[in-house]
Amino acid sequence: MKRQPIKYSLLAALALSLPIAAHAASRPDSWITMKAKTALLLAEDVQGTSVNVDTINGRVSLFGKVRSENEKANAAAEVRKIEGVVEVKNYLQVVAPTNDAKVQRSDDAIKSDVASALKADPALDNSSISVKSVNKGVVLLSGKAASWNDNVRALHITSGKPGVVRIVSEIDVHDTVADADFKLDEAKPDATKQNVGGVMSDLWITSAAKMKLAADSRTPATEINVDTVDGTVTLFGMVPTLESKTAALEIVQGVSGVKRVENKLEIVTAQKQDMVQARDDEVQTNVKKALKDRGDQDNASIGVEVSNGVVRLTGKVPSWERSLSAVYSARSVQGVRSVRNDMTVETQQASR
């Protein structure tokens, strides 16, 4: 669906920021994002295929179009229920539909259409997801998803089929994000980052894009949201200059597996502030505190070095997801210009 740009001058004033209890997020950002996408695609009163979702340090941003203020509120409410969510930033734009007529199709036709689409998608070759039944346009999916990425993809495919009123899911999916989706140290993709069908994981693309954005001092990485659907990346959020918007596009276009980038970033010039050059030792102290507060040092040995605002993270972490989380915790600290990730991941694979 083609989305119209949102004017962030109004958006900043209208954004629904819903703070939750302040505590260290108990779930990784990627898990929260996948749970949020699933919840929105299954919600009865939300058109989940029109909503982009991203999470940075426990703060979930929603972007796209909805049909009413009620739908906008319902979307935020669904996401607030998810464990680990610290805040919901609701940037959804209400646009009255020009033609909201439901497509009438027989249940048998819907079932055949959805089943064929699921079977034909090579990205789902690792999973065994099927249509259990269709009743008055309500599709019941069952089976086993090899990953959260596959689970969300199956729901997205089903939601987009004509005649589908909503989805009910009995899909079995492991309640963790597979660590293979976060192998970000190699320049070229390999089989661990792809499904059997050779399709790059949307989650891997999002993670790789975020890591590259965090490492580049031209972009305010923690203000840039990244969402990937079928290889198409949507960038949304606020950046201070045209240069930073252009740089973000350039960086993400260079990520393996990206088919297209929709650059929805809005340029919002920050009010003039006294620029305080933080001392490297202060930055180092604050980065260590940020890692501790987010739980990124649990079961990890992370070293922090700072030179002229550039942070270098070293040591060992137990998973690739933890590596990405640590980078974003560090990048959020005031005075940090970029983050260099020199951490190594202990050899363990999350079970799918």
pLDDT tens, position by position, 54-74: 999 999 999 999 999 999 999
64 is a domain residue = yes
User: Which pLDDT belongs to residue 191?
Assistant: 40
**Of 249, 270, 291, at which residue does a domain stop?**
270
Angle (nearest 5°) at CA 227 between 224 and 230 = 150
Closest CA to 258 of 234, 276, 241: 234
Same domain (yes/no): 220, 258: yes
pLDDT tens, position by position, 148-197: 999 999 999 999 999 999 999 999 998 887 776 665 544 444 444 444 33
Same domain (yes/no): 189, 220: yes
Residue with tokens 């249940």: 107
Is residue 78 pLDDT above 50, yes or no?
yes
148 is a domain residue = yes
Same domain (yes/no): 194, 207: yes
**Of 220, 242, 270, at which residue does a domain stop?**
270
Same domain (yes/no): 196, 266: yes
Distance of alpha carbon 237 from alpha carbon 247, whole angstroms: 14
102 is a domain residue = no
Q: What CATH number does the domain containing 347 carry?
A: 3.30.1340.30
Is residue 8 pLDDT above 80, yes or no?
no
Q: What DSSP letter does each residue of 124-162 carry, written as one string? A: GTT-EEEEEEEETTEEEEEEEESSHHHHHHHHHHHHTST
**Of 270, 301, 335, at which residue does a domain stop?**
270
Q: State in Å, rounded, how far the first CA of the chain is from the last one.
A: 31
Q: Which two tokens stand for residue 290?
A: 């940020």
Yes or no: say if 85 and 75 are a contact pair by the CB < 8 Å rule: no
The mean of the pLDDT values for the chain is 84
Yes or no: say if 256 and 200 are a contact pair by the CB < 8 Å rule: yes
CA–centroid distance for 299 within its chain: 24
Yes or no: say if 49 and 75 are a contact pair by the CB < 8 Å rule: no
Number of structural domains found in the chain: 4
Same domain (yes/no): 187, 266: yes
Listed in sequence order, the residues at least 6 apart from 69 whose beta carbon sits closer than 8 Å to its beta carbon are 94
78 is a domain residue = yes
User: Which pLDDT belongs to residue 256?
Assistant: 92
248 is a domain residue = yes
Domain assignment of residue 294, given as a range: 275-352
195 is a domain residue = yes
Distance of alpha carbon 210 from alpha carbon 188, whole angstroms: 16
Closest CA to 334 of 285, 272, 263: 285
User: Which pLDDT belongs to residue 49?
Assistant: 79
Same domain (yes/no): 280, 262: no
pLDDT tens, position by position, 256-301: 999 999 999 999 876 443 344 578 899 999 999 999 988 877 777 8
20 is a domain residue = no
pTM: 0.83
Q: Helix-strand-coil percent breakdown of the chain, rounded to 5?
A: 35, 25, 40
The H or E element that residue 324 is part of is helix 320-331
Q: What CATH number does the domain containing 148 carry?
A: 3.30.1340
Same domain (yes/no): 262, 190: yes
Same domain (yes/no): 156, 209: no
Mean pLDDT score, 117-138: 95
Decide: residue 255, CB within 10 A, 0-12 exposed, 13-18 middle, 19+ buried: buried
Q: What is the DSSP letter of 191?
A: G
302 is a domain residue = yes
User: 21 falls in which pLDDT band (50, 70, 90)?
Assistant: very low
CA–centroid distance for 109 within its chain: 33
Give the pairing of strands 301-307 and 310-317.
Answer: antiparallel
Same domain (yes/no): 144, 187: no
Same domain (yes/no): 247, 286: no
